[in-house]
């Protein structure tokens, strides 16, 4: 049971990392397409993604 919980925590961490990566990629794409989105907004978006989990 302990092993299962540890594994679950590892997977959750990986999912979190992937979600964060996606947030920043999306921000980068928006910035790249001429939309003026300041980086702090991207960071806020990433933080919100974390809080929603």
Quick one: pLDDT at residue 17? 80
Quick one: how far is CA 53 from the chain centroid? Answer: 10
Quick one: pLDDT at residue 35? 53
Quick one: pLDDT at residue 50? 72
Residue 30's CB: how many other CB atoms inside 10 A? 15
As a whole number of angstroms, the distance between CA 43 and CA 24 comes to 8
Quick one: how far is CA 1 from the chain centroid? Answer: 28
Q: Mind listing the pLDDT tens digit for each residue in 1-53?
A: 789 899 888 988 888 887 777 766 666 555 555 455 556 666 676 677 777 76
Q: Which of 13, 24, 29 is nearest to 46 (CA)?
A: 24
């Amino acid at each position: 049971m302990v092993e299962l919980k540890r594994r679950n925590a590892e997977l959750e961490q990986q999912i979190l990392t992937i979600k964060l990566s996606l947030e920043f990629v999306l921000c980068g794409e928006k910035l790249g397409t001429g939309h003026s989105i300041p980086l702090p907004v991207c960071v806020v978006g990433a933080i919100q993604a974390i809080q929603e989990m």
